[in-house]
Amino acid sequence: MRYIVIEGNIGAGKTTLAKMLAGDLDAKVVLEQFSENPFLPKFYSNPQRYSFPLELSFLAERYKQLNNELRTGTLFNSLLIADYYFMKSLIFAGTTLTSDEYKLYRQIFEIIYSSVPFPDLYVYLHLPPQRLLDNIKKRGRDYEQSITLEYLNSIQKGYFQFFRQHPNSKFLIIDTSNIDFVLNRDDFLKIKAVIFDETHKKGVQRVSF
């Protein structure tokens, strides 16, 4: 089974694109169940108190979901598309946790991480933080309205650092600033063609339209 991840900062449209691609290609789709996490609204209202339990709960849930989906597979789908990757846990934890909490968290993460397969292609949807903030405001989730530009910038830096640390993997950064793949079918087809181009090489590749 081919395994592709569609990632991005908060508000980048990763879940929407993952669903659209899966529907277009009759692929199996794995979506993060973040809305069911009871700590998420508490975290946005009180980050200092709820960062550690939030990150631990996400770590456990992401591992359980990805491990189940990737290990079982299916006879009817040769392609799996997910809207997150397990490393996301470490990227967000590095931003939200204190130094001591992060050291402990990383020890737990490293024990689990080695058993999670790396995707065949890691797609990152890039938008400037201000555009992300606009998208967050538009979708109107109450618990997200306290998200700041500073927080989005720190998450973005975490992703880019992660890319640099894995030069032997395939990363595709797509700048979607000038397109609308949701409302414009041609824009969607452009992204689809770039993602499924068989010439992707190891390292970071950047595409803009």
Nearest-angstrom CA–CA distance, 69 and 151:
31
Q: Is 186 a catalytic residue?
A: no
CA distances from 206 to 107, 111, 154, 161, 188 (A): 32, 32, 20, 15, 17
Q: How many Å apart are CA 180 and CA 187, to the nearest integer?
A: 6
Assign 183 to helix, strand or coil: coil
- The catalytically annotated residue of 24, 83, 120, 134 is 83
Sign of CA dihedral 97, 99, 105, 110: positive
Q: Three-state SS across 24-43?
A: HHCCEEECCCHHHCCHHHHH
3-state secondary structure of 63: helix
The amino acid that residue 177 corresponds to is: S
Residues labelled catalytic: 83
